[in-house]
Amino acid sequence: MAAGSIRVTMEVGADGVALITIANPPVNALHPIIIAGLKDKYAEAMRRDDVKAIVLTGAGGKFCGGFDINVFTKVHQTGDVSLMPDVSVELVSNMMEEGKKPSVAAIQGLALGGGLELTMGCHARISTPEAQLGLPELTLGIIPGFGGTQRLPRLVGLPKAIEMMLQSKFIAAKEGKERGLIDALCSPDELIKTSRLWALEIANCRKPWMRSLGRTDRLGSLSEARAVLNAARQQAMKVAPNMPQHQACLDVMEEGILYGGQAGVLKEARVFKELVVAPTSKALVHVFFAQRSTTKVPGVTDVQLKPRPIRKVAVIGGGLMGSGIATSLLVSNISVVLKEVNPQFLQRGEKMIAGNLEGLIKKGSLTKDRMHKAMSLFKGALDYSDFKDVDMVIEAVIEKIPLKQSIFSDIEKICPKHCILATNTSTIDLNVVGEKTNSQDRIIGAHFFSPAHIMPLLEIVRTEKTSPQAILDLITVGKIIKKVPVVVGNCTGFAVNRTFFPYTQASHLLVSLGIDVFRIDRVISSFGMPMGPFQLQDVAGYGVALAVKDIYADAFGERNLGSNLVGLMVKDGRQGKVNAKGYYIYEKGAKPKPDPSVKHVIEEYRKQANTMPGGKPVTLMDQDILEMIFFPVVNEACRVMDENVVIRASDLDIASVLGMGFPKYRGGLVFWADTVGAPYIHSKLSKWAEMYGPFFKPSSYLEQRAKSGVPLATMEQAVRHANHFVILRRAHQEHHSKCFSTCFLFLMVPSGADAVFAGLWENYGEAMARDDVKAIVLKGTQRLPRLVGLPKAIQMMLEYKVFKELVPSPTARALVHIFLAQRLSTKVPGVTDVHLKPRQIRKVGIIGGGLMGSGIATALLVSNISVVLKEVNPQVLQRGQKTIAANLEDLVKRGSLAKDRINKVMSLLKGTLDYSDFKDVDMAIEAVIEDIPLKQSTFSDIEKFCPPHCILATNTSTISLNVIGKRTNSQDRIVGAHFFSPAHIMPLLEIVRTENTSAQAILDLITVGKIVKKVPVVVGNCTGFAVERAFFPYRQGSMFLVGLGVDVFRIDRVIRNFGMPIGPFQLQDVSGYGVGLTVKDIYAAAFGERNFSSELMDLMVQNGRHGKSNGKGYYIYMKGEKPKPDPSVQHVIEEYRKCVKIMPGGQPVTLTDQDILEMIFFPVVNEACRVMDENVVIRASDLDIASVLGMGFPKYRYPKSC
């Protein structure tokens, strides 16, 4: 969405009413730009004398669909709650409700979530009758956060408010009027006019000026309110035991009832911020977006195809599934022809459809009138003659391959050429089903879940021959009948049943090991599944399980368990719920009860299975049972993703939630598995595989991710690479249409000129900037020889002519820009301009004596700052001290340190193995590996030992500071001190501040930066901060080019010729692959689709290549010699190209050197634009100096177009 289309407008009429309109298509979501605009317009309206009253409305026939949920995703990625704007108090309470001019909400279409909360902050609400009103926030794991928990009970009464919030129930404005939420109803044409008049009448005291938060008349007595809340708590504990937001919502409502609305609003804001970063919210928001992404199908929904109308559908088979599918179509106004084999079966099918419709009426989702309309669209048939004009056929017969094949052969002859030929098979490969047909492009799977008219998932199965048009048409039908369509590949069981086939089998294995059936069901139900695997088997019936048993055995080989438990149940006369007798007893009107008499069947099964060690039942905890059932399911999900059966991992998440009832608040199967962690799952499966056999054997996909640390949800797909390429090309095109305001520039000060030109450069910069200066004359021919000697003075004066010619050149402009940029970087608004004085930093504690820690210590020591270096054991500490000594020797060789200073410098260093020596440090700098839990525990420890004035700094290059400092109470002292490697040489210091970092801490670190001869650049807190964030596409772009067939060493040559010190692959060798692999997942999580997930580094490491550290990378490194390209790396690169599969037609692309240069740097510029747009840097020139000093960008570069 373009920022220009997100806006808030205000028009003041002659009547003195300001009409404030929210515009953010399609539903006017409350993007932060909208909230800022509302604050701005309300402030303006309150100031203006010509405004008497305000009407708040939304553009495009909708009021507002609520807060922009994309912001939640950013909060979840960063852990930064400050991204949530202050709406509840600052806007709704202070500016709107307590404003000196009345506000009236003009509601049309919908007012949901934050949108409805805005209306409740107004003094009256006028609406069209059919507008939908509701507070659905609890479905996202949060509570209403803009005052809704306080105002809604005061307007509609406590019981109705609880119902609307805890059940996320919408009401029409017509009911809202009856309940007291809406003040008046009118037609859309009269809405604004009526609202304006109402607002003026409030302003003129002819209508009451009602502040919702001050009302108590609808709350009832305190005892009544408590009774209602206690009843609601009990109900919430039953229906949502794992949903903390339900109890939190009731607590916040109670706070307002006991202590007043304002107290309730304040508690609501606090609890909202706690919930928004909680695991439940992360999971539910993930599911929300996962559901919306399922209909984005590359090659189908992005190729300008239009869906064809599906007016008439034939369903073959009127059993449980066929009648359910027919019901779904009929209630959505699609005509249905139901074919059966005889009149009795047809009549039964028709009765089942009628029963389904009656059930929908009882649920309140269908009216009687609509039921009659639906049945009028139905026609029964005993042959195919009525199929001649259908648009789609859905076969829904039993899972018998010959029967399905003959049906498809028949319908192909009868149906029109455009007709889609679909099967509802849950298991059988579509190529087998359609083997005897010639219309392979029309064959598709339409796998509904039982009961089909209720269950929301539609699994759309495509073969390699299914046409995009058929897929698009079925997606569209899915939406029409209110299903969530998920497009999957063709294999046995497809995505859902394939993934979950180990679910039942693992439960059978546990029973064979001696675990009680009903305990297994209790454990799984407690986890959040609607019912356990054995009750599910009863409800689903044993027929399907027996029908697909052989199919699974053939398809899955050794990982299929040959259980005969279902067969024994059938042999004992048990059919599950169908005949009221299975593992449970089913009596009409009663809950299922465990059947003790099933015990003898289970004992017989255990005898036959003979898997109990020593014939004795195993002892397992509930957690073991849970893991032994679900980890094999996760393992199979890994295979499904590895084979690209699903387009994206989130499709499997939404399919598991909607198709199998996996608890939504856990985010779906793969999301949950990633919270558990691939290494843990892999270790457990490996252990069980040794004990119980190949059923538990970890898949290669799981094994790779367990070793690499890459999330399971990170799938390697060509489509993502293709998207990355589109971004690259777009950046290339934009370059020609406009000049970028930020360019990475570089400065090289002439050697030996410092003594002569002290102060000259600053004046020269001013002269260049002034319009009244046309030329520059240098004086000093008399003094110059006395300063530098006559020969040098003559040489310099002869060069003056050349100097004049160079002044207007791009190089001079670039170098002057960098000179001034470097001096600007320490000017920080709110820090250096508020009369603060830097405190003295005499002693610094450093945690971690590795490459970075020892380098930082060296920089401090040579600047006469005492250092305490802490390490975990004597050996590592000794190594750190040796590295510092080596750094000092290196500085002596470079001529930047006198040899006799080494002893003085080393006398300032103290080693330690605990934090006792940190009691008097002025600053602590953590420099351990990029491991979040380790950093968090380190900060928790140093906070306890360091004095209250001590600055708590981290040298992280990537991780958000809010995540690192999560467990501390000293947020004002936490700051990022990101040195670049090697830290005692590289001149840049990136100072990272959070919203809580004090100005004093920033100023002190700027001062330390200057003392240790670094150039400090202050940046904001986000993944990668400024430099690493801006340059993450640099490495990724180069690996993308390799994937397209461009030679590694050619890329490095092109980049070196541009002016970078070394190319991206040599840089990777020099830096080492450890950090790259460590931050890979962090970048993937933070940058989503614009992150290019490359496995090249992994392959290099697997091939024993670690870069310069072991002398072998893309280049060969030998002591005393320049690096040489290693020809033997070619086989690794070829393997990588096979993995990514992005070369068009399998052939390398042809690119000029300029293309290579641009395809690497333009995405970097693109990311830099995002960095500036998000105000991560104070000014564009800070990014220039950071790129020069931190990444070696050539400082002499200046664009011709500027």
CA 298 from chain center: how many Å? Answer: 20
Give the H/E segment covering residue 468: helix 468-480
Q: Is the dihedral of CA 768, 769, 774, 780 positive or negative?
A: negative
How many helices (H) and strands (E) the chain has is answered by 47, 29
Tokens of 789: 């000697």
Instruction: Please name the amino acid found at residue 1052.
Output: D
Per DSSP, 975 falls in state E
CB of 1007 closer than 8 Å to CB of 1117: no
> How far is Cα 712 from Cα 287, in angstroms, rounded to an integer?
16
Report angle CA 700, 703, 705 to the nearest 5 degrees: 110
Return the active site residues: 117, 137
CB of 548 closer than 8 Å to CB of 399: yes
Q: Which of 446, 400, 447 is nearest to 420 (CA)?
A: 446
> How far is Cα 477 from Cα 949, in angstroms, rounded to an integer?
65
CB of 12 closer than 8 Å to CB of 44: no
Tokens of 885: 């000594």
> How far is Cα 323 from Cα 426, in angstroms, rounded to an integer?
16
| Residues with Cβ within 8 Å of residue 562, at least 6 apart in sequence | 553
Per DSSP, 931 falls in state -
Q: Which of 195, 210, 207 is nearest to 13 (CA)?
A: 195
CB of 720 closer than 8 Å to CB of 1161: no
CB of 1024 closer than 8 Å to CB of 1086: yes
What is each CA distance from 1100 to 1076, 1095, 1096, 1192, in whole angstroms?
12, 9, 6, 25
Buried-exposed string 936-972: b where 16+ CB fall within 10 A, e elsewhere? bebbebbbebbeeebbbbbbbbbbbbbbbbbebebbe
Tokens of 615: 């014939």
Instruction: Please name the amino acid found at residue 467.
Output: S
Burial status of residue 798 (CB atoms within 10 A of its CB: 0-12, 13-18, 19 or more): exposed
Helix/strand/coil for 1075: helix
Where do we find the tokens 């979530």? 113
Q: How many CB atoms lie within 10 A of CB 1022?
A: 22
Tokens of 1044: 């397209």
Strand ranges (E), 538-592: 584-585
What is each CA distance from 1084 to 22, 171, 1079, in whole angstroms?
34, 40, 9
Strand ranges (E), 13-102: 17-23, 53-58
Q: Which of 176, 190, 198, 199 is nearest to 129 (CA)?
A: 176
Q: Which of 599, 603, 605, 612 is nearest to 567 (CA)?
A: 605
> How far is Cα 329 from Cα 379, in angstroms, rounded to an integer?
13
Q: What are phi and psi of 811, to 5 degrees?
A: -65, -45
| Residues with Cβ within 8 Å of residue 398, at least 6 apart in sequence | 317, 319, 543, 547
CA atoms within 13 A on the CB side of 1191: 26
Helices 669-676 and 649-660 pack at an angle, to 10 degrees, of 110
Give the H/E segment covering residue 337: strand 335-339
